[in-house]
């Protein structure tokens, strides 16, 4: 009989309530106040007129892998009413909700037609063609009469995006729709103040909103899972004073972004993506090229004010240390401020961005008039740039300006670091080089965002000298790939046949085989165990269990247990093989999607024999609307269980807290729930850079900046993996920066831009948090699939950074189905093993057969298969030991 970890319907654990309260607080602290004239906070029992698509039809998360399965989803309307705010526009909201419901019914009827082929086909179509409401209802005179008691109007603008498709710079997406503009004009003409809430996935054009004559406030609330409405109410009523800071640059217009014209399909080419902006991504571009944004990186207002004073800057233990004081200069509200440290490097052989974020710290809650002293330490090594010419991270000669402030456009020069001779920080070798020289933009003769006060600040700044002794030089040693060891290749091939003949299952005779528990108990070594595995066994081990019979059932055990544990979860989140449970006792690892929380089946059905009857695809957000009814077949005679988890704020919103404690708390929530539901690997965090605001999956990623990305991820990772039975899978490694044609896009990028921008966040997380696993991306990188990229996966991640965990592919990377119509074909199974990509997911029978055939043909060796197998089993041992 199978064992389940779900709860009986209606069972609400204390932990669930505690976790919900935590994410409500975190979500509010990540929301960013963009404009404010003193209208907020709302007074107790205020009356407001509430309009807009997201008022009642609030968007809680993006589409795809980062959806969630929380018990409750509180809309903005409901959240405000729970907070004691009276909503006067009920008739409009009801009429609009009825209109949207009719549109949804039509949309899901179409999806239902596709689902007749298979439910998963309907889900795939829903991913590629997400529901978008039609034109908004225009506010009428009758609506205004209904809301005449209110002096303040709140207008909620909603957008969604997700996996499989990018956004577009068109009305109703990046731009306001005609109806939204018309409604805003009506509200502006009929109410004393208008508050606009952006219930959106990322940046959008705010120029029209900012032109409203009586705009009271503009807030980027993002999407905060089930607590969105509650967190919004906390902000509007002043229960939480806004403290979030942007982690992206919001442009005056889309065309201001450096890759606006050639991002994804904007230039008509989805096959080849040229990163011609080089290192000038986000604020690095805007600040260096002197382009004024609508809202700069690091920006965010509060209901109170703050002053920042740099007290001293000094050098200590290979670090630059900044001591600063923050004072709440207001006289009414308590609040928090974030100190941000940027460094401007001198141009030398390499052009540099005007400034780069190097450190930050956030205050405690400060009462009016209260002061707190903070200390920020910046590693001198982190100031280095990557020289392709020298294949090294170096500090070029010149003066480095240390800037302290509360956004990229509001800093003061606090110190000068003088490097009098070039310093080698890290000697690498040229890796992942482009097929041709990338023609990158240059800031030559461009106007930086200098301010006039800077001249005086530089003249009076403290001078610190940096010498070679301040940085210990690192020189990397790279091992030759196995396939280059030609003299050993023939011997390895012969060994494979010897092991196949003398080990493995023989007609069910498993009593003399080494088993997984022998390694756990110390009876044999891991090396001996792996060496005893046959090519056939390792072909199964290195492939996920999607191709196995009854793949819906996810079992856990060491082969000698009488009861298997079944964890009903999302489609595609298949686990490692079950084929070796009985013969070798090798357990399979359970994995769960969900960048916004574990994505399990919130409700599932089991018959009297203990068989799971509910398809995993049911966990996909809104799939129940495709089914069009209750997917539980028999609630009377069958057992029904619940698996509600805590929905987290979208990753960008989480990053906008700039708060390591918030990040830690969210990581602990994931770790506790993984432990409860027996999930070994969380398929997150997603750590790709916001290269362009139109990427459909940006909400699932943290920021345009690699330092914020790395710091946020490492805090989450450390917290999750403090529960030793739980591990993360940071993804997508690397340059998964668009969704259109994501499986077959060839990214062309310079090595410097790759290392400084797109890999740096991963590097920070690996070196400081030691993640257990990593996932490669779908795209090609300079002509080679990342899944097959030895230099990326082995030379950089393992040999340079010291990553010692397991690497897996993204789902279906080796499938040719989606590549027949594209310029570039899929990655190969053999290529994955050769590159050091240990686990091919979700796996298929053809993947297993392909690996076995590749070994027999000499395309891969037994040594390469053992290396990958050892890393998979080592990961299992770490997680198994954590549960014991």
How confident is the model over 422-440, as pLDDT tens digits? 999 999 999 999 999 999 9
Ranking 213-227, 558-572, 684-698 by mean pLDDT, the lowest is 558-572
Question: In this predicted structure, what is the pLDDT of residue 568?
Answer: 66
Question: In this predicted structure, what is the pLDDT of residue 3?
Answer: 74
Helix H or strand E encompassing 675: helix 660-677
Of 300, 301, 299, residue with least CA distance to 282: 299
Question: Residue 303 is encoded by which pair of tokens?
Answer: 């209901």
pLDDT (tens digit per residue) in 145-182 = 999 999 999 999 999 999 989 999 999 999 999 999 99
Report yes or no: 756 and 750 within 8 Å, Cβ to Cβ: no
Report yes or no: 801 and 767 within 8 Å, Cβ to Cβ: yes
Question: In this predicted structure, what is the pLDDT of residue 83?
Answer: 97
The more confident residue out of 221 and 820 is 221
The more confident residue out of 828 and 569 is 828
pLDDT (tens digit per residue) in 294-339 = 999 999 999 999 999 999 999 999 999 999 999 999 999 999 999 9
Ranking 237-251, 325-339, 434-448 by mean pLDDT, the lowest is 434-448
Question: In this predicted structure, what is the pLDDT of residue 503?
Answer: 35
Distance CA 877, CA 242 (A): 44
Region 229-251: mean pLDDT is 98
Question: In this predicted structure, what is the pLDDT of residue 518?
Answer: 96
Residue 106 has pLDDT above 80, yes or no: yes
pLDDT (tens digit per residue) in 378-416 = 999 999 999 999 999 999 999 999 999 999 999 999 999
Q: Residue 633: pLDDT band by 50, 70, 90 thresholds?
A: confident
Q: Residue 77: pLDDT band by 50, 70, 90 thresholds?
A: very high
Region 815-842: mean pLDDT is 90
Question: Residue 32 is encoded by which pair of tokens?
Answer: 């960013």
699 φ, ψ (degrees, to nearest 5)? -60, -25
Question: In this predicted structure, what is the pLDDT of residue 133?
Answer: 86
Other C-beta atoms lying within 10 Å of the C-beta of residue 44: 10
Question: In this predicted structure, what is the pLDDT of residue 560?
Answer: 35
Sequence-distant (≥ 6) Cβ neighbours of residue 121 within 8 angstroms: 114, 115
pTM: 0.94
Q: Residue 884: pLDDT band by 50, 70, 90 thresholds?
A: low
Question: In this predicted structure, what is the pLDDT of residue 550?
Answer: 36
> Rounded to 10 degrees, what is the CA torsion of 268, 271, 277, 282?
80
Distance CA 628, CA 268 (A): 38
Of 197, 120, 201, 135, residue with least CA distance to 166: 201
pLDDT (tens digit per residue) in 32-57 = 999 999 999 999 999 999 999 999 99
Sequence-distant (≥ 6) Cβ neighbours of residue 570 within 8 angstroms: 65, 592, 593, 594, 599, 600, 601, 616, 617, 619, 620
Question: In this predicted structure, what is the pLDDT of residue 487?
Answer: 44
Helix H or strand E encompassing 77: helix 76-82
pLDDT (tens digit per residue) in 477-487 = 999 998 776 44
Sequence-distant (≥ 6) Cβ neighbours of residue 857 within 8 angstroms: none
Region 462-484: mean pLDDT is 93
Region 774-778: mean pLDDT is 98
Question: In this predicted structure, what is the pLDDT of residue 485?
Answer: 66
Q: Residue 825: pLDDT band by 50, 70, 90 thresholds?
A: very high
Question: In this predicted structure, what is the pLDDT of residue 816?
Answer: 80
Cα–Cα distances (Å) from 882 to 350, 593, 682, 727, 872, in that order, read 47, 21, 15, 10, 16
Report yes or no: 406 and 308 within 8 Å, Cβ to Cβ: yes
Question: In this predicted structure, what is the pLDDT of residue 131?
Answer: 85
pLDDT (tens digit per residue) in 113-146 = 898 888 888 888 887 788 888 889 999 999 999 9
3-state secondary structure of 413: strand
State the chain's mean pLDDT as an integer: 91
Question: In this predicted structure, what is the pLDDT of residue 551?
Answer: 32
Region 867-874: mean pLDDT is 98
Question: In this predicted structure, what is the pLDDT of residue 631?
Answer: 83
Report yes or no: 106 and 134 within 8 Å, Cβ to Cβ: no
The pairing of beta strand 371-379 with beta strand 319-328: antiparallel
Residue 507 has pLDDT above 50, yes or no: no
Sequence-distant (≥ 6) Cβ neighbours of residue 459 within 8 angstroms: none
The more confident residue out of 814 and 554 is 814
Region 841-863: mean pLDDT is 95
Percent of the chain past pLDDT 70, that is, above it, reads 93
Distance CA 216, CA 422 (A): 52
pLDDT (tens digit per residue) in 512-532 = 799 999 999 999 999 999 999
Sequence-distant (≥ 6) Cβ neighbours of residue 763 within 8 angstroms: 710, 801
Region 361-367: mean pLDDT is 98
Question: In this predicted structure, what is the pLDDT of residue 509?
Answer: 46
Residue found under tokens 């900044």: 322
Residue found under tokens 């003398």: 502
Question: In this predicted structure, what is the pLDDT of residue 562?
Answer: 35
DSSP character for 755? Answer: I
Residue 473 has pLDDT above 80, yes or no: yes
Cα–Cα distances (Å) from 773 to 444, 487, 557, 651, 805, in that order, read 42, 32, 21, 19, 5
Percent of the chain past pLDDT 90, that is, above it, reads 78
Residue 218 has pLDDT above 80, yes or no: yes
Distance CA 754, CA 276 (A): 12
pLDDT (tens digit per residue) in 637-683 = 898 999 999 999 999 999 999 999 999 999 999 999 999 999 999 99
Residue 489 has pLDDT above 80, yes or no: no
Question: In this predicted structure, what is the pLDDT of residue 555?
Answer: 30
Q: Residue 615: pLDDT band by 50, 70, 90 thresholds?
A: confident
Q: What share of the chain is helix, strand, coil (3-state, %, to 5)?
A: 35, 20, 45
Question: In this predicted structure, what is the pLDDT of residue 819?
Answer: 64
Q: Residue 582: pLDDT band by 50, 70, 90 thresholds?
A: very high
Question: In this predicted structure, what is the pLDDT of residue 548?
Answer: 62
């Amino acid at each position: 009989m199978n064992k389940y970890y779900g709860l009986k319907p209606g069972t609400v654990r204390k932990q669930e309530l505690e976790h919900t309260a935590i994410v409500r607080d975190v979500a509010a602290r990540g929301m960013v106040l963009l404009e404010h004239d003193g209208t907020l906070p709302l007074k107790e029992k205020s009356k407001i007129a509430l309009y807009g698509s997201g008022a009642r039809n609030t968007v809680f998360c993006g589409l795809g892998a980062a959806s969630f399965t929380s018990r409750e989803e509180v809309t903005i309307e409901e959240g405000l009413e729970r907070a004691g705010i009276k909503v006067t526009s009920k008739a409009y909201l009801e009429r609009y909700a009825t209109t949207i419901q009719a549109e949804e019914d039509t949309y899901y009827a179409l999806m239902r037609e596709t689902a007749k082929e298979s439910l998963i086909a309907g889900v795939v179509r829903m991913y590629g063609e997400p529901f978008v409401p039609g034109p908004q209802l225009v506010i009428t005179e009758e609506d205004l009469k209904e809301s005449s008691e209110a002096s303040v109007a709140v207008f909620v603008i909603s957008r969604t995006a997700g996996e499989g498709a990018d956004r577009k710079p068109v009305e109703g997406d990046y731009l306001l729709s005609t109806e939204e503009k018309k409604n805003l004009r009506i509200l502006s003409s009929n109410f004393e103040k208008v508050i606009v809430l952006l219930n959106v996935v990322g940046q959008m054009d705010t120029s029209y909103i900012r032109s409203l004559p009586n705009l009271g406030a503009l807030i980027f609330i993002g999407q905060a899972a089930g607590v969105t409405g509650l967190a919004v109410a906390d902000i509007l009523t002043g229960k939480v004073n806004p403290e979030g800071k942007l982690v992206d640059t919001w442009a005056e217009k889309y065309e201001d972004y450096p890759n606006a014209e050639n991002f994804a399909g904007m230039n008509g080419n989805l096959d080849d993506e040229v990163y011609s902006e080089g290192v000038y991504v986000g604020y690095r571009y805007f600040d260096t090229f002197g382009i004024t944004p609508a809202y700069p990186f690091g920006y965010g207002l509060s209901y109170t004010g703050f002053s920042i004073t740099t007290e001293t800057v000094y050098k200590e233990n290979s670090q630059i240390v900044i001591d600063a004081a923050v004072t709440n200069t207001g006289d009414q509200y308590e609040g928090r401020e974030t100190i941000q440290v940027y460094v401007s490097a001198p141009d030398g052989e390499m052009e540099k961005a005007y400034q780069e974020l190097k450190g930050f710290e956030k205050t405690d809650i400060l009462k009016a008039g209260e002061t707190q002293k903070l200390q920020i330490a910046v590693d001198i090594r982190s100031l280095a740039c990557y020289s392709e010419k020298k294949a090294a991270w170096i500090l070029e000669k010149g003066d480095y300006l240390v800037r302290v402030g509360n956004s990229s456009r509001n800093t003061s020069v606090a110190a000068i670091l003088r490097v009098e001779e070039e310093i080698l920080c890290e000697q690498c070798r040229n890796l992942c080089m482009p097929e041709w020289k990338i023609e990158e933009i240059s800031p030559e003769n461009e106007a930086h965002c200098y301010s006039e006060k800077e001249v005086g600040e530089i003249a009076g700044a403290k001078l610190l000298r940096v010498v070679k002794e301040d940085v210990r030089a690192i020189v990397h040693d790279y091992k030759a790939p196995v396939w280059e060891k030609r003299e050993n290749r023939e011997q390895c091939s012969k060994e494979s046949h010897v092991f196949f003949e003398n080990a493995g299952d023989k007609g069910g005779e498993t009593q003399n085989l080494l088993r997984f528990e022998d390694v756990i108990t110390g009876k044999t070594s891991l090396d001996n165990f792996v060496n005893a595995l046959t090519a056939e066994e390792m072909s199964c081990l290195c492939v996920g269990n999607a191709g196995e019979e009854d793949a819906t059932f996810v079992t856990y055990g060491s082969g000698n247990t009488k009861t298997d544990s079944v964890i009903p979860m999302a489609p595609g989140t298949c686990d490692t093989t079950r084929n070796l449970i009985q013969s070798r006792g090798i357990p399979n690892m359970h994995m769960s999607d969900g960048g916004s929380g574990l994505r399990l089946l919130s409700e599932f059905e089991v018959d009297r024999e203990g068989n799971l009857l509910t398809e995993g695809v049911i966990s996909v957000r809104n799939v129940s609307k495709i089914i069009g009814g209750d997917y539980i077949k028999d609630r009377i005679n069958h057992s029904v269980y619940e698996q509600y988890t805590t929905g987290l704020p979208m990753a960008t919103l989480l990053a906008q807290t700039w708060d390591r404690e918030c990040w830690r708390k969210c990581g602990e929530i994931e770790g506790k729930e993984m432990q409860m539901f027996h999930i070994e690997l969380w398929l997150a965090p997603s750590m790709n850079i916001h290269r362009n605001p139109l990427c459909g999956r940006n909400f699932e990623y943290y920021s345009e900046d690699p330092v914020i990305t790395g710091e946020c991820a490492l805090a989450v990772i450390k917290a999750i993996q403090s529960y030793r039975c739980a591990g993360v899978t940071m993804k997508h490694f690397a340059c998964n920066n668009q969704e259109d044609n994501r499986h077959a896009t060839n990214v062309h990028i310079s090595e410097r831009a790759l290392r400084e921008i797109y890999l740096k966040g991963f590097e920070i997380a690996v070196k400081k948090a030691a993640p257990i696993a990593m996932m490669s991306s779908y795209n090609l990188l300079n002509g080679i699939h990342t899944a097959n990229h030895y230099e990326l996966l082995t030379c950089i991640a393992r040999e340079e950074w010291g990553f010692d965990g397991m690497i897996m592919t993204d789902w279906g990377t080796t499938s040719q189905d989606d590549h027949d119509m594209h310029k570039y074909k899929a990655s190969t199974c053999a290529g994955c093993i050769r590159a050091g990509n240990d686990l091919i997911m979700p796996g298929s029978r053809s993947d297993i057969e392909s690996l076995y055939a590749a070994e027999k043909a000499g395309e891969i060796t037994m040594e390469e298969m053992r290396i990958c197998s050892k890393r998979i089993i080592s990961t299992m041992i770490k997680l198994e030991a954590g549960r014991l």
